[in-house]
Amino acid sequence: MESFSQMAWLVPLFPLLAFLLLVAVGRQWKESSAYVGIVATLASFILSVLVFAERIGGQADNYTWNRLEWLKIGDVSFGMGFEINNLNALMLVVVSLVSLLVNVYSKGYMHGDERISVFFSYVALFTFAMLGLVISENMLELYIFWELVGLGSFLLIGFWYYKPEAKAAAKKAFVMTRIGDVGLFIAILLLFWHMPNHSLDFASIHNAFAEKHIAGATATWIALLIFVGAIGKSGQFPLHTWLPDAMEGPTPISALIHAATMVAAGVYLVARTFDIFQASQAALDTVAYVGAFTAIFAATIGTAQNDIKRVLAYSTVSQLGYMMMALGVSATVTAGIFHLFTHAFFKALLFLAAGSVIHAVHTQNIHEMGGLGGKMKTTAWTFAVGALALSGIPPFAGFWSKDAILAETYHSGRWGLFIVGLIAAFFTAFYMARLFFLVFAGKPRTDVRAHESPAVMTVPLVILAVFSVITGFVQTPFNGWFGDWLTQNAGAEAHEGGAVVMIVSTLVGLFGIWLGYMIYVKNRISREIISSNAPWLYRLVYRKYYVDEAYGAVVVRPLKKIGDGLNLFDVYIVDGIVRLCAALVAWLGRLGARLQNGQMQTYGVVMVFGLVLLTLLLVGRRFIDVG
């Protein structure tokens, strides 16, 4: 029987077609290129929803198709194919929906840009790669798409390539993620080395690790190296610095790639290869601690940034840390993927709303905004929904997913991580309150005549706002449907005593918002309370803990020095030899030219000289015994 799962390979193909079409003839179409992107992602979305609906129905088994042989080396062959299970189906819907909404939104946001068709072709390329990544059937295929999304991200961050910051940010993103990619690649090589039959498909990996064919140090190394890849892609400490810089790209791109989909690919990767991680407690602990540290580290930075998009970027880093922490502490992927799912919606919403604000006031500095709530009603209330969801206030989606994470941490018995999670939640609520009140409340600080964005931009906001409210209810402490469905009842467990966690996390979130309200609206607490009493602390946080500077001193500058040294070698030794050869030949040439003076008599002398020499040789040979 034909099922939609069997047709799932079509999902990434629609954006690919759109990309090819736009690359070929998009230049003439200008603004109407947007429709190509919208139609393609709409087709992908509809098919994804059909696949998803089929999975929810529960009749469909996991479907794998891998008969396309891609590469054959000796007895080992690498296939291409696709796999549909509940996790994939969920990701398909998230990616295609956000991509569709971003395409629609971009039609308004990018209106009038010279290279609008190029923009939509890049977005289509990215969407293709991301959807392909999600349904990949083996590690090698996943790696190919993994690099392709990196390429899409690079192209789109550097879309405004005439801005030097954008160019630098694109390069930085490419290089930093590449560090992680090397880890992932080594992990794939190790897997290839150790797997029975050298197979790299996820089903075999699942079996091999479930039956403990690979265990001990090998499993730990593989898991850690995969996690290195995830660190790079998902902006975890210490490779997080590229993500905030990536905000130089157009805002819809920040929403699509650097909030909802690509950066979540790291989390998805860990969830996809969760069997490997479960084989090694050390790897799980690493994931949990790195995630927790990133969560609180980035959240504190977020409180001191002045660029609206950078605050959101650090918030993304912090939330990704939450997801990693959830994967590290729990026995199933439920909590982490649940947060990925809800976060995709409310973070995309926040970015798109921020884009709407930037579109209206043409600045990204939150201190130059203010009082926009009255002029941009739709943007303001959708942003508020996103902010509340991110801050973890019930009944918004973020509350349920964050609560699931905190409950998992609470039940794992790791109090340190639980406390870190709570503190990070407090900072999250605080910086979101700061952002919201500075941008939308109070009086305008500049005389920019802000106006609401067109419907093509606000409608996606409203849709995302709706999702930011309702998606949380698929998994609550009273209703574990999502977890049961996602893990296919593999390790479903009901958590008792979730009420304590719920109340504590809500109180923490409310306290953060109250503090923000007191400081930035009521002015009860001075804004400069930190920066005047402990300026070093403020500067430390404002400069993002000097991570970039540290990398500059530890990595970049020594490498530059080595490069300069090697350059000297090149200039003086290598080039020197080349120049010497050239000079020798030129000198010989000049000698020859002097002989060739056009006088027959000189030529004659040379000839006679040669003849005499030959004769002498011939004659002289008789007297010398040459053996």
| Site residues, other proteins (CB under 8 A) | 596-601, 604-605, 608
Minimum separation from the CB atom of position 616 to other proteins (A): 16
Q: Which is nearer to other proteins, 583 or 614 (CB)?
A: 614
Using an 8 Å Cβ cutoff, are 429 and 394 in contact?
no
Q: Which is nearer to other proteins, 161 or 609 (CB)?
A: 609
Crossing angle of helices 86-109 and 33-57, rounded to 10° = 160
Q: Is 178 exposed, middle or buried (0-12, 13-18, 19+ CB in 10 A)?
A: middle
Minimum separation from the CB atom of position 598 to other proteins (A): 3
Q: Which is nearer to other proteins, 583 or 606 (CB)?
A: 606
Cis peptide leading into residue 196 (ω within 30°)? no
CA trace torsion 264, 317, 396, 368 (10° rounding): -130
Tell how far CA 323 is from the center of its chain.
14
Minimum separation from the CB atom of position 615 to other proteins (A): 13
Q: Report the C-alpha gap between 206 and 184 in whole angstroms.
A: 18
Q: Which is nearer to other proteins, 306 or 615 (CB)?
A: 615
Q: Which is nearer to other proteins, 479 or 615 (CB)?
A: 615
Minimum separation from the CB atom of position 597 to other proteins (A): 6
Report residue 430 as tokens.
Answer: 């605080």
In order of 58, 100, 182, 595, the CA distances from 587 in angstroms are 85, 69, 50, 13
Q: Which is nearer to other proteins, 59 or 599 (CB)?
A: 599
Using an 8 Å Cβ cutoff, are 486 and 337 in contact?
yes
Minimum separation from the CB atom of position 604 to other proteins (A): 5
Minimum separation from the CB atom of position 607 to other proteins (A): 9
**Number of helices (H), then strands (E), in the chain:** 27, 2
Q: Which is nearer to other proteins, 24 or 593 (CB)?
A: 593
Q: Which residues lie closer than 8 Å to 615 by C-beta, 6 or more apart?
A: none
Minimum separation from the CB atom of position 601 to other proteins (A): 5
Q: Which is nearer to other proteins, 583 or 608 (CB)?
A: 608
Using an 8 Å Cβ cutoff, are 238 and 547 in contact?
yes
Minimum separation from the CB atom of position 161 to other proteins (A): 55
Using an 8 Å Cβ cutoff, are 154 and 250 in contact?
no
